[in-house]
Chains A and B, each alone.
Chain A
Amino acid sequence: MKKKLLNTTIALGLGVTCTLAILQPSYAATPEVQIQIHQGRFIPSEFEIPANTKVKLVIINQDDTPEEFESYDLNREVLIKANSQASFYIGPLSPGRFHFEGEFSPMTAQGVVIVK
């Protein structure tokens, strides 16, 4: 009986933790960075964002072919269809340089997020 009570309490605790985490109210002011994909290149290919801040990346693919934003440093892999756009969030990050590339055209589509 005690074990069941403990299990229930812990399960509820996990649920509450997740709910609290999701309901964090700080995202209204999330900064946004727009990146274009043009002729297999990211424009800009380098940009700065503040440390310890969540940032929304909007990737606009102007090419007639799809591209995949891939970054092990940022732990993101996102497909951007031809003549389309996709968005996702990165951070909060510590100061440093975080590389990303276009998986479908890695020779040209290279970029760096500089966190200061």
Chain B
Amino acid sequence: MNSKIQTYKALLLCSVFIFSPYLYAAEYLSGPSDYVYSPIVEEGEREIDTKFGTQTPRNGEDARQSGASIGFGYGVTSWWFTEIYGKAQWEGNNSSFDAIEWENKFQLTETGKYPVDIGFLLELERPQNRNEGYEAKYGFLFQSEWRKWQANLNVLMQGHYTGTENQGTYFGYQGQVKYRLQPEFELGAQLYSWLGKVNSWNTDQQQQSSAGPAIFGKTKLGNKQALVYNAAYLWGTTTASPKNTIRMQVEYEF
């Protein structure tokens, strides 16, 4: 039976990066500072979470787009983690406050009980541009591990509601694979994609998808304190994608 379980785990691990090249994404909704969500919640964990990313547009005439956020997160229970963010963006030399975001993560299965840990994400955002109304992102989060490998695959929906711009609900996914080499340094890859509107997926060249290598790690700073990081260099895989994206996240856990 264990070999069967391992077979399913291997299938899931492989699925993220074997199948993903076929799943070209559509409307580019991943911000430069987005990250791959994990369904695992740690009760009592407090963190200051900073993220930064920058994208080089494929068209050289367009300005570079960058984004950053800072947030405070707390593991309220063993199954609910919540975090409040402030987000800023830069386009060329112009910077502006972008949005306030409230992220909620719910762990739906006991850690390790099943071959795949499952969670649910609900993220609500109030954009500074009030024409965009409110933004909601929600979906299921999956994580599996096999020996020293860990894989994540998240299936997400995102939409703007009650506004006049960028309305509609979009479907996308994100994933990562990493090899847990040592606590301070782990190697892997990440992928971010959006397939388009839920009821009308885009054609290949309208789609956007970015993938590339990533590094991860955690350094203890003392009793109950740690610095957790991950960073990735992503190439756009379609002509509608940014040429490349550099993104990173640093969390101070205490």
Asked whether A and B interact, the reply is yes
User: Interface of A with B (CB < 8 Å)?
Assistant: 3-4, 6-7, 10-11, 13-14, 17-18, 20-22, 24, 26-27, 52-54, 56, 66, 68, 72, 75-79, 81, 86-92, 94, 103-104, 106
**Residues in B whose Cβ lies below 8 Å from that of A76:** 111-112
Which of B42, B75, B145 is most buried by chain A, counting CB atoms within 10 A of its CB?
Answer: B42
Please tell me if the beta carbons of A77 and B42 are within 8 angstroms of each other in the complex: yes
Q: Contact check, B115 vs A78: say whether CB atoms are below 8 A apart.
A: no
A89 touches B23 (CB 8 A): no
B93 at the binding interface (Cβ < 8 Å): no
- Min CB distance A108 to B, Å, is 13
Contacts of A89 in B (CB 8 A): 110-113
Q: Which of B1-9, B96-104, B159-167, B229-237 contacts A (4 or more CB under 8 A)?
A: B1-9
Give the chain A neighbours of B23 by CB distance below 8 A: 7, 10-11
**Contact at B115–A10, with CB atoms within 8 Å?**
no
- CB-defined contacts of A81 to chain B, threshold 8 Å: 43-44
The CA-CA distance from A4 to B113 in the complex, in Å, is 34
Interface residue B204 (Cβ < 8 Å from any Cβ of A) = yes
A26 lies within 8 A of B5 (CB): yes
Q: Are A18 and B12 in contact (CB under 8 A)?
A: yes
Which residues from B are CB-within-8-Å of A66? 44
Residue ID in chain B nearest A56 by CB atoms: B113
Q: Which B residues are CB-close (under 8 A) to A94?
A: 147
What 4 pairs across the A-B complex have the smallest Cβ distances? Answer: A89-B112, A21-B8, A21-B115, A79-B44
In whole angstroms, how far apart are the Cα atoms of A33 and B110 in the complex?
16
Q: How distant is A25 from chain B, measured CB to nearest CB, in Å?
A: 8
Residue of B nearest to A74 (CB): B112
Assign chain B's interface to a size class.
35 or more
Shortest beta-carbon distance, B31 to chain A, in Å?
23
Best-surrounded residue of A17, A52, A88 (most CB of chain B within 10 A): A17
Kindly state whether residue B191 has any CB partner on chain A within 8 Å: no
B153 CB within 8 Å of chain A: yes
Q: Which of A4, A7, A78, A106 contacts B42 (CB 8 A)?
A: A78
From known contacts A3-B204, A7-B22, infer whether A54 and B112 are also in contact, taking CB-CB under 8 Å. Answer: yes
The contact string, 1 if C-beta is below 8 Å from chain A, for chain B 109-150, is 111111110100000000000000000000000101101001
B19 touching A4, Cβ below 8 Å: no
- The answer to whether A4 touches B201, judged by C-beta atoms less than 8 angstroms apart, is yes
Q: Answer whether A18 and B142 are a contact pair too, CB < 8 Å, given A7-B23, A7-B201.
A: yes
Query: Which of these, B12, B111, B118, B203, contacts A78 with CB under 8 Å?
Result: B111
Contact residues in A for B153 (Cβ distance below 8 Å):
14
